[in-house]
Amino acid sequence: MQTPNVFLAYAPRGPGLRCALAYLASERDAYGWFVGPRDDISVASCFFLLEEFYNNRLTRYEAVNQSELHAAWSLDDGRRHQLAQMQEAFGREWLFYRDDLRAVTELQAYAEAELASGEVNVRFKRLAKFSKVQPNWTYYSPRFERLVLNYLAKRWPLEYRHDQERVALPQS
């Protein structure tokens, strides 16, 4: 499986996870999955396609709720399968949900550290990888492209808008 490019933002004093994004890139498209709170505090979890993102053509954005991955939308079956595997691996490695059976230990660690938690959370041990110089702690994988985040953040249903803060990518 191709290694996804990853970005996470977390607000330690509230509300907790702001967004988690993982995507794959092809020669012309970027496609992936994001999760986080909406303005109304409900959780959005969507797969997306940025068609023609890496060409000089107009980029087309399409997103479907996580439950509709295999419904009728533009992504072909091979990429849908790739996304399902990527989302599962990314979620298992980085995230947990409040109602998970193993969440008790994670939530206890958050409480002891006096950190915010929500419906979807970053695994406590993963917070050590985050840059903590801004009010929103962030993690960028080494090959993450900020242009993907810029494009998505203007269109996704999440309340998180990264352009409201100044965050520098770590130097490679």
SS3 readout for the chain: CCCCEEEEEEECCCCEEEEEEEEEECCCCEEEEEEEEECCCCEEEEEEEEECCCCCCCCEEEEEEHHHCCCCCCCCHHHHHHHHHHHHHHHHHHEEECCCCCHHHHHHHHHHCCCCCCCEEECHHHHHHCECCCCCEEEECCCCCHHHHHHHHCCCCECCCHHHCCCCCCCC
Q: Give residue for tokens 């492209």.
A: 145
pTM above 0.85, yes or no: yes
Environment class of residue 17 by beta-carbon count within 10 Å: exposed (0-12), middle (13-18) or buried (19+)?
buried
> What was the pLDDT predicted at 25?
96
Q: So what's the pLDDT on residue 163?
A: 61
CA-wise closest residue to 120 among 20, 21, 50, 2? 20
Are the C-beta atoms of 152 and 46 separated by less than 8 Å? no
Torsion of CA 110, 112, 114, 118, to 10 degrees: 30
Nearest to 158 by CA among 29, 8, 52, 49: 8
Longest Cα–Cα distance of the chain, Å, equals: 50
Q: What is the pLDDT along the chain (172 residues), one digit of tens a residue?
A: 689 999 999 999 989 999 999 999 999 999 999 999 999 989 999 999 999 999 999 999 999 999 999 888 889 999 999 999 999 999 999 999 999 988 999 999 999 999 999 999 999 999 999 999 999 999 999 999 999 999 999 999 999 986 655 444 444 4
Burial of 142 (C-beta count, 10 Å sphere; 0-12/13-18/19+): exposed
Tokens of 79: 């990429």
